[in-house]
Amino acid sequence: MGKQTQNNLYSKTENAGKDGFSKYWEQVFPGKRNCPFCTAFVYWVFGWAYGKKRAKLMLLSHKGFVQEPFRLELRFQKMNRYSHVPCIGNIAFFQQHKWTDHVGIVTDIDEHGFYSVEGNVVDEQGIPCVAKRYHFFSEKAVKGFGYPLYSLLLKDI
For the chain, what percent of residues have pLDDT higher than 70? 83
Q: How do residues 20-51 score in pLDDT, each as one tens digit?
A: 667 776 776 666 665 678 888 999 999 999 99
Q: Which of 52, 55, 77, 78 is nearest to 143 (CA)?
A: 77
3-state helix, strand, coil in the chain (%, to 5): 25, 25, 50
Q: Which residues of the chain have pLDDT under 50?
A: none
CB 22 within 8 A of CB 3: yes
Does the pTM surpass 0.85? The reply is yes
pLDDT, residue 128, reads 81
User: Whole-number mean pLDDT of the chain?
Assistant: 86
